[in-house]
Structure 1
Amino acid sequence: MDPKPTSERIEQLAQRVLIGDIILPEFQRPFVWKRSQILELVDSIFRNYPIGSMLVWESSQKLASKRSIADLEVAQRGANYPVNYLLDGQQRLSTICGVLYWEPGDAKSVWNVYFDLRTAKFHHADNNEDLPLHQIPLRRLADPADYFRRLAALDDQKLRDRADLLFNRFKDYHVPLVTLGDMSINDVAPVFERINSTGTRLTIYDLMRAATWSPEFDLGRTIEGIRTSLEKKKFHEFDNKTFLRALAAASGGDFSSASIDALRDLRRDHLIQAADATKKAAERAADFLATEIGAPRSESLPYANQFAFLCELFRTLPHPTGEQLTEIKRWFWLTTLSGYFSGWDSGQMATDTRAIRQFAEGKIKKLSVPAAIASANLWEVKPFRSNSAVSKMLGLMLAFNNPLDLVNGQRIDVGKSLSWSNDKEYHHFFPQAYLARRRIGASKANVVGNIILLTSKSNIDIRDSAPSEYLSEIIQQEGRDSLVRRMESNLVPESALDAALADDYGAFLKIRAQYVHTVAQTMAGTGYGPALPPEEIEDSDDDPTE
């Protein structure tokens, strides 16, 4: 059937939603609009601006659908009653239903919207109490008798006229509605993919959830199932695309967007099989990272794509030998130190996928990483920040070394430190405030080579002291050997102690940077690629654009 365009009042569309005539298919994304977007939409309706068309698919096919919209329960229709699946317009129609039919509950609800007659502007309310007469909750519009009864006390004709205009606009506003019919889910999916009339762009995850959806397979639920299985291991916070890459590789492709897109052409039983294999492989990858690398959670991983790679590796090689495990660890540290995954393109993804399978089959002994690493002064110039791969590598190296608190000698809780939700466990060996007094700026002070792990209490105790002050006090109380052990557990060699006791920041930083770099090279394996200047090493943990 050809698309059937009609024009419908928004109030009628909202009613069709509430009686279950228009419903949201399960593959639709959740409501994602911000409060400002809600206000902009209702303001457009009041000003009679166009808000775009909506698209529904009339079908008797029984698809999984959402049982509520805008926190409102949707009525259940009869088994033989055809329904209209909303393909485009979810955010707008949810907003209209929400503001018109909101039932007072949480006063901070995004649906608690009122119109100020004096200013002709819409606002979110923050309480459920009766508002002044000139502030009209939009939910009143759903009951005309109640609406006008409450306005009877208004004695300002200008405000009464504006109240009439508000009522009439919401009662009479029409939206273009296009209805599709006689189409299979396979035909509807590409239509849904190409829609972007609301300005809220669909991600590749949204598109693939629609393109692969069937009563037997729901990509959204599949990925949530993988996340649930990883939650107890604390490796569930990766973004959807990371899991899509792993699923694409497990389905016979590689990690690229092209392979993700090819999921649409696979049989449902093939997708289900690949999803089950991905789930098991992800659990093994999480166990490897926790036990062999010392990474306690997903946030501590320098690059999310490392996890996708490891999923495919442990899918094809669920039980590596000791030699293979050593090589996988070397690969992890080398890809981190070189920043390999910051520029992971489709060619590299295809090459890496082949290498994984050859490695699993025993055809190759090494996982090649064709990337250069920086020179030692990388640690002297790279800023310390929570989304930096170099910073995360230092954190993991420190965790791997079982760091001790400099002041009291107690073991540092690396799980807490590597959550990256609180930086109080990290401390500048040369305090920033002290360096500021020495006219050394924040960009020079806040570098990775100046960072150790320290408990919050010790951090407060040291505050802005000169290293010569707080280190001398530790030596006096605990002895030099004790301090050296604590420093070495934080990857600060004894050779840096004299420079610190002399408050020589430049000398300290150079010694410490060289030491950390030597440790990192040892963990990554030496002799792999030429050295690059540190400014040419990209250390962001953001995914590449591919």
Structure 2
Amino acid sequence: MSPTNYVLDGQQRLTVVYSCFGAPEVETGFSAVYNLLEEKFEEFVEPDPYKFNLRNIFDTTKLLNFRAGLISHKDSAVLQQRLDKLVDSVHNYKFPVVTLKDLSIEEVGVIFERINSSGTKLSVYDLMVAATWTQNFSLDENVQEILLSLETKRFNDLEPNTVLKCMAAVNSASVKKKSIFELRDLKEHEISLLTERTKDALLKSVDFFSNEFNVFGSDFLPYEAQLITICYVFSVFKSLSSSQAIKLRKWFWQSSFGERYRVGGENFLTNDLESIKKYLEESEAIDSMDFGALPNARDLEKIQFRKNNSRSVAYTLAMSLLKPRSIVNGTAVELQQSLSVYNQRNFHHFYPKAHLKRLNNDDNANAITNIIFLSASDNISISDADPVSYVSDCVSNLEEMTDDVFSSNLLPAPSKFDYTQESFESFISERAKLIEAYIKSLIG
């Protein structure tokens, strides 16, 4: 076998042991043989009268037939002795066994975490894969099938645990651990059916996110909980009415800007699943449900633009709906490239950081109120220029389009805001008011 060293986790080790010693001879997967002539293990390539297939080591008939076939070799006695030694070492290998009775799957997981030699920590997903595995069914294969179906939507990098929570939500409107562990009680055909339902709901969810909010990849999803919630919604409602779609849009923006899922665990989200279902079913006023407190203008002045900040992500998505145009030349900013990954070159500090640093005024340079969309080439052309000079150039280039272009970026209109005279602080304050009003319009 190759001298290359491989590091395998616990599940992979068991898979290799099974594939070598327990799998049927005709089953695909890794298969090993013992070369009796050279006394070494090798990967199975094709049948050989002097290479014993380890998959037959517990099959008495095949073992004896192979042993008898060695008689034709001139050193048959030596080869048979080597085979007997191999069989004896495997058949008489002693495994320490501890039988645990009447323990929950969570308790078994804790015990495993304490005694496994590699220090591997089992997740809920790992426990579920192990608990539901049969010769004909693998939960992991079903989850990977769902993830593969999301590949073209750029959502295939979701954590398997997230998919498992979606399955639990679809099955029982709950993401509590108890509900997740209850999935192992489903019959094989029931969990296969659940996999299909979850896949269908997730595909609809991803389409909804991309069509309604320009979420072109999982990186631009403010919260995992939002995907689970929408997946649950599409498993309950096969299609949405116009009023239900409006309510869902309100819920998304309010839960994002209101940081609904910043804190709160499985019970919190489970309760929200029931709330959102009731919210969509009843013909009540759209603003009758509270899904988080919105930031006001003063809050917006302080929020920093960071990848892992839900309000930053929500701000970016909300801005994209305005179809912003370049303040340099008025051309449309290419959004899908910017929103499919965090392409920092497509985000521009309106007051460049280097410029603010020269003024010793860069403490709030990364505020979302100082961030706009801009193509990489236009970003480079502005570089670290003072807005007093480059905004004047932009106004000259844009001419009568100036106010419209600035408005598409939620920037104060140059016809009403004198960029040559106003300070960075006054710009931040004025733009925060515009953003606050825009967020309210998205929800109201």
For the superposition of Structure 1 and Structure 2, which TM-score range results when normalised by the shorter chain? Answer: 0.7 to 0.9
Counterpart residue number, 1:311: 231
Change (3 A) 1:269 1:190: farther
Contact 1:250 1:278 in 2 (8 A): yes
Of the three residues 396, 400, 412, the one matched with 2:317 is 396
| TM-score normalised by length of structure 2 | 0.76
RMSD: 3.8
CA distance in 1, matches of 2:24, 2:412: 67
CA distance in 1, matches of 2:328, 2:422: 18
Residue 427 of structure 1 aligns to a residue in which SS?
A: strand
**Shift, 1:501, TM fit:** 2.9
| 1:261 has 2:181 as partner | yes
Contact 2:20 2:54 in 1 (8 A): no
**Shift, 1:58, TM fit:** 12
Change (3 A) 1:352 1:508: same
Change (3 A) 1:309 1:289: same
Change (3 A) 1:508 1:363: closer
Note the residue ranges of structure 1 that are not aligned, 5 or more in a row: 1-10, 19-23, 32-54, 83-175, 526-546
Counterpart residue number, 2:156: 236
Counterpart residue number, 1:438: 359
**Shift, 1:421, TM fit:** 3.5
CA distance in 1, matches of 2:414, 2:443: 23
Counterpart residue number, 2:36: none
- CA deviation vs aligned residue, 1:465-484 (integer Å, no higher than 9, x gap): 111111101222321x3222
**Shift, 1:461, TM fit:** 0.8
| 1:339 has 2:285 as partner | no
AA aligned opposite 1:389: S
Which structure has the highest helix share of the two?
Answer: 2
Give the total of aligned pairs.
383
Counterpart residue number, 1:383: 304
Counterpart residue number, 1:135: none
- CA deviation vs aligned residue, 1:421-469 (integer Å, no higher than 9, x gap): 420000001111111111112x411111100000111111111111111
Counterpart residue number, 1:504: 423
CA distance in 2, matches of 1:193, 1:68: 33
Residue 95 of structure 2 aligns to a residue in which SS?
A: strand
Residue 341 of structure 1 aligns to a residue in which SS?
A: coil
Counterpart residue number, 1:448: 368
**Shift, 1:414, TM fit:** 1.2
Change (3 A) 1:177 1:65: farther
In the TM superposition, 1:441-480 aligns within 5 A as 441=362, 443-479=363-399
CA distance in 1, matches of 2:299, 2:94: 58
In the TM superposition, 1:315-326 aligns within 5 A as 315-326=235-246
Change (3 A) 1:260 1:59: farther
Residue 494 of structure 1 aligns to a residue in which SS?
A: coil
**Shift, 1:341, TM fit:** 1.2
Change (3 A) 1:203 1:500: farther
AA aligned opposite 1:28: Q
Relative contact order (C-alpha < 8 Å, sep 6+): which is higher? 1
In the TM superposition, 1:3-152 aligns within 5 A as 28=11, 67=30, 73=43, 77-78=55-56, 81=59
- CA deviation vs aligned residue, 1:37-65 (integer Å, no higher than 9, x gap): xxxxxxxxxxxxxxxxxx99999687999
Counterpart residue number, 1:519: 438
Change (3 A) 1:497 1:363: closer
Contact 2:174 2:273 in 1 (8 A): yes
Contact 1:208 1:261 in 2 (8 A): yes
**Shift, 1:66, TM fit:** 5.5
Change (3 A) 1:353 1:445: same
Counterpart residue number, 1:178: 95
Residue 297 of structure 2 aligns to a residue in which SS?
A: coil
CA distance in 1, matches of 2:241, 2:149: 25
AA aligned opposite 1:232: T
Change (3 A) 1:347 1:60: same
AA aligned opposite 2:419: A
Contact 2:254 2:291 in 1 (8 A): no
**Shift, 1:302, TM fit:** 0.9
Contact 2:328 2:397 in 1 (8 A): no
Contact 1:359 1:365 in 2 (8 A): no
- CA deviation vs aligned residue, 1:308-361 (integer Å, no higher than 9, x gap): 111010111121111111111111001001100111323322322223443565
**Shift, 1:495, TM fit:** 6.8
Counterpart residue number, 1:195: 112
Counterpart residue number, 2:170: 250
Residue 261 of structure 2 aligns to a residue in which SS?
A: helix
CA distance in 1, matches of 2:24, 2:368: 56
Change (3 A) 1:288 1:57: closer
AA aligned opposite 1:477: N
Contact 1:60 1:81 in 2 (8 A): no
Change (3 A) 1:471 1:57: closer
**Shift, 1:195, TM fit:** 1.6
Residue 168 of structure 2 aligns to a residue in which SS?
A: helix
| TM-score normalised by length of structure 1 | 0.63
Contact 1:57 1:180 in 2 (8 A): no
